[in-house]
Amino acid sequence: MIGMQQIHGSYVVRVSQKDDGKIIENCDGLISNDPKVTLLVRVADCLPISLVDKKTHSFGLIHAGWRGLDKGIIKKAIDLMQKELRIKNSDLKISIGPHICQKHYEVGRDVFSKFTKYPEALLQKNNKLFLDLAKIAELQLINNGVKKENIKISKTCTFEGPSLPSFRRSKTSERILVKLNI
Ligand SMILES: [Zn+2]
């Protein structure tokens, strides 16, 4: 199993069996085509995004909150999969796991204004501002050649689920572990 340090950056690394047991530093995305590898991400409110291409046996796992989305981690991961693993963007199947939903994700004006090019992901209500992280991710995926019908988004909100860790709800150090291998 291979994990990542998760610093809300956009650095994506290709890994293989020789990295087994490591936590890759300064890293928020891993890609591989090594069937012996299992990728690991830890989340509590942020998006766990898995990318799979069965044709080339390639897979990737991303940790993304608003910072990572703003820094373009989705594009960086897809570009690296294309360059290193020869995937076609239109073949990618995406799954976004449990995360904080829009109505529980209030943000400040500074964060809100970074995403004005994704109006479908923005909500203003009672002088409060809310972001839909999964919608931003979906729009960025589509902008990078992923087919809409190949994107699955979990409806489970970490903030609402008392059995799930939510940093917003309880400042917890617990995390959901999402594993990916093929
Ligand atoms: Zn919610």
Q: Which amino acid is at 49?
A: I
CA of 93 to the centre of ligand 1 (A): 25
- Mean pLDDT to the nearest integer, 17-24: 96
Tens of pLDDT along 129-145? Answer: 999 999 999 999 999 99
pLDDT digits (tens, 9 = 90+) for 71-86: 999 999 999 999 999 9
| 109, part of any domain | no
pLDDT greater than 90 at residue 105: yes
* Arithmetic mean of pLDDT over the chain: 96
| Structural domain total, the chain | 1
Cβ neighbours of 17 (radius 10 Å): 11
What's the gap in Å between 162 CA and the centre of ligand 1?
11
Domain membership of residue 81 (yes or no) is: yes
The CATH code of the domain that includes 89 is 3.60.140.10
Q: Which residue has the tokens 């990542």?
A: 4
> Are the C-beta atoms of residues 33 and 56 closer than 8 Å to each other?
yes
Does a structural domain hold residue 110? no
What's the pLDDT at 170?
85
Question: What are the start-end ranges of the E strands in the chain?
Answer: 3-4, 12-14, 23-24, 29-32, 39-43, 47-53, 58-64, 93-96, 106-107, 122-125, 128-131, 151-153, 176-180
| Per-residue model confidence (pLDDT) at position 55 | 97
Which of 19, 68, 55 is closest to 40 using CA atoms? 19
Residue with more model confidence, 72 or 181: 72
Residue 41 lies in a domain: yes
Domain presence at residue 111:
no
Cα(173) to centroid of ligand 1, in Å? 19
Is residue 113 assigned to a domain?
Answer: no
**CB-CB contact of 32 with 15 (8 Å):** yes
pLDDT at residue 121, as a whole number: 98
Residue 114 within any structural domain of the chain: no
Specify the pTM: 0.95
Q: What's the domain range around 19?
A: 3-100+134-180
CA of 154 to the centre of ligand 1 (A): 12
